Structure 1
Amino acid sequence: MRKSIFLTFMLCLRVSAANAQVQSLPSEDSLCREGEDIYFSCPLENGKTISVCAKNNVSPNQGYVRYEYGNKESSFNYPLENMPPGDRFAISDVSEGSIHGLHLKFTRGMYTYVVSSVWPGELYVSKRGNIAFDKECQASRYKSFSNKIFDGIRQVAPSKVDFH
């Protein structure tokens, strides 16, 4: 009896370790690097990919979070250096009625970037309150935000930029 419990325990550990490893391996739908957590990633209708990647991000002051837009050969990333998200990033729960989702937001200069997990997912960019860029994820490749996002990014109430 003890031997079967031990074997079952060891099998569970191996499966858990394998699943944890899969989470941190890069995929073709992500710009995240090996060893990073994929908070969100999806290919857009324009052929580019958006990814929100993190490592050791257990609070807003630990680890790092990085936004990437582009492809494996060339991408725009924010911030340029890996650093804790602090006040740079925020998430808002924009769920209402039967619509469920989160927005990850950051501001760079005059632009506010919003990564939305409201199906089918999208990226939009606001410049002084006007939408300058808006692309949806390929619906067949949709993935919601990882629950890990709640540990390391500060939560804020929805604001005007969340409703466009």
Structure 2
Amino acid sequence: MLGNCLVVLIPCNLFPFECDPKIIHRDVKAENILLDDYCEAMVGDFGLAKLLDHRDSHVTIVVRGTVGNIAPEYLSTGQSSEKTNVFGFGILLLELISGQRALNFGKAASEEIQVLQEQMKEAHASEMDSIKQLSFEIETARREEEEMRSKTQELKQEAEKSKAVAEELEKKIELYLKQTEGAKAS
């Protein structure tokens, strides 16, 4: 088909400056190239085509066509000319030579969605790990605080016991000293 496209399409349909009036197809793509019984290629689907007087260089119209096959200048300005046919034909040749679509939104979009979903899962997993780590650290801090309060309470109780023992010991020492002084005096 590639050879047929080069032989048949270039002279007649894709370089419409040869025609009067000029034909601006606006949707040159593989789906619009038809093969006859002799496998000769012909351009079909002229539903978006516009006729252009040979004196005009372009026509300004609402952008129509297949995404990926629309010439950038037509897309940005709305001005279509025979150059838009040439761009579309270039994309067609690229697809024929490479065996791939110029833009495959279905595959690209699904791959991009998968990548985004994986990134979201990783981010979510990372956030969950952070939350788990933070929860662990908070729980550890709470346990340590409780242990410190318990130890502080124990130390306070021991200090009170020690104070009571010290006071008792002081009383006994004072009593002993009084008794020993009283015994010396007699």
TM-score range, shorter chain: under 0.3
TM-score after normalising by structure 2 = 0.17
Q: Relative to total residues, which structure has the larger strand share, 1 or 2?
A: 1
Q: Relative to total residues, which structure has the larger helix share, 1 or 2?
A: 2
| Greater gyration radius | 2
TM-score after normalising by structure 1 = 0.19
